[in-house]
Structure formats: structure tokens, C-alpha cells
Amino acid sequence: MQRPEPFLLINFKTYLEATGKRAVELSKQVEKVGENTGVKVGVAPQFCDLERVSATVDIPVFAQHIDSVSPGSSTGHVLAESVKAAGADGTLINHSERPLRLADIDTAVQLAKQIGLRSVVCAGTARLAAAVALSEPDMVAIEPPELIGTGRAVSKENPGIVTDSVKRVYRVNQTVAILCGAGISTGDDVSAALKLGTDGILVASGIVKAKNPQEVLASFCEAVVR
């Protein structure tokens, strides 16, 4: 079966280095590396920055979360339509730092679909990756919480969880793209992830907190095209 083009998605979390104008600047750098290397890259800035980032760069822009709410009386919640209106292309759902109830994950995926937002649903184990793949999101991202932010890459520290996730996800859903994340910090980590059968990576501190994000991302992209 034809797999999708590899995709590197950069989660800005709530890092000050990627807040406000710095979110716009970092997104421009990401876009430039993508253009230079021909690799598909995307960014996931904070809600307040979605509009100006989307207006500035021409790469996929994702929200970091949406709530499973419909338009109306949901003060303080993140409406899928609002994310879409800000120009975003998709959204993360169920990141380990923003875990959702099972029913809310499924509802959020369906709400995203209905309005044309792509969805990346995160899961911390192979079994849970398969569980969320049943909701038919565009992508699942396997991220063992214990490796997030450690600089020890899931694709090297725990390749078994990645191959097991790929196997279990495919058993229930053959069309979903599979990302992996947690601790990715070098081009080798990215190569390893792709060799294990994934379609890309989800990365945060490895890029955002790097001294030279553009350089590190370039090394990631070169690993993809090698």
C-alpha cells in the first residue's frame, strides 16, 4: 500500500520561545527549511497565535487541542469552528499534556472532520494508538509520556513500542498515517522513526528549545530525504 509523504509536525506547546511574535518567526523558519529541503513540515502554535501564523506561512498549521463542544454556550472552550476560522488546517487531540475522556476524543475527531479540519490523535501506548485509530482520524501519534522532553528518542529507546503501534493500528485501520514522538532530537532519531514504519514525527522541545531551531530542523529533513 502507498504510504503518505513523510510529515514533521512541530508542537510549540506553551514555550515562551514560540509565543506571540516568536511563534510567527519560528513558523517562518520552519517554512523555509521545508522549502529548502522539499520535506513536508507543519507547526502547532498556541490558540492565540493560530490566526497570525496561518496568515503568514503556507505550511500546515495545527491547533494543539479542540474541545468536544458545539457552537453556543461554552465560554472558555476551544470551538473547532473557531480554529478553522483562524486559518488552521488541523488539530492535535488528546496530547498527553491535554488528555481527554474517551468519548470526547471520538467526538472531537468527528467535529474536526465535519468542518474540514485534519486530526492527529495522540496515544501513549500501542494499544491506545489502535483504540484511537478506530475513530478514523487523519493521523495517530504514538508518544510514550515517559520519554517526552527527555531528549531520549522513542525511536531508539523503545523501538518496540513503535513497531507494535504500527502493527496494532494497521490491524484496525489501514489508511491512517502514523507519527511517533517523544525525545526526538537528531536526524538519526528521525531516520529510525521512519524505518520503523511510521509516516513522520511529532516534535516539540527538540526544535523549539534548540539553540538553532532552523539548523536542527534541517538535519531532521535531510534525514527524511536521504
Catalytically annotated residues: 95, 143
Burial of 191 (0-12, 13-18, 19+ CB in 10 A): middle
Q: Which of 33, 105, 184, 193 binds its own copies (CB under 8 A)?
A: 105
Stretch that binds its own copies, among 111-119, 128-136, 193-201, 214-222 (CB under 8 A): 128-136
On whether the CB atoms of residues 93 and 120 are closer than 8 A, the answer is yes
Residue 71 found at the interface with its own copies (CB under 8 A): yes
**Cα separation of 224 and 99, whole Å?**
30
Binding track, positions 179-218, relative to its own copies; x by CB under 8 A = -------------------------xx-------------
Judged by CB under 8 A, the chain residues 26 through 45 that form the site for its own copies are none
**Residue holding cell 487531540?**
93
Alpha carbons within 13 A on the beta-carbon side of 214? 10
Short-list 102, 83, 103, 82, CA closest to 92: 83
Distance between the two ends of the chain, CA-based, in angstroms?
21
Out of 5, 35, 77, 114, point to the residue binding its own copies (CB under 8 A): 77
Q: Which residues bind its own copies (CB under 8 A)?
A: 11, 13-16, 19-21, 46-52, 64-65, 69-79, 81-83, 85-86, 92, 94-103, 105-106, 123-125, 127-128, 130-132, 134-135, 148-149, 168, 171-172, 204-205
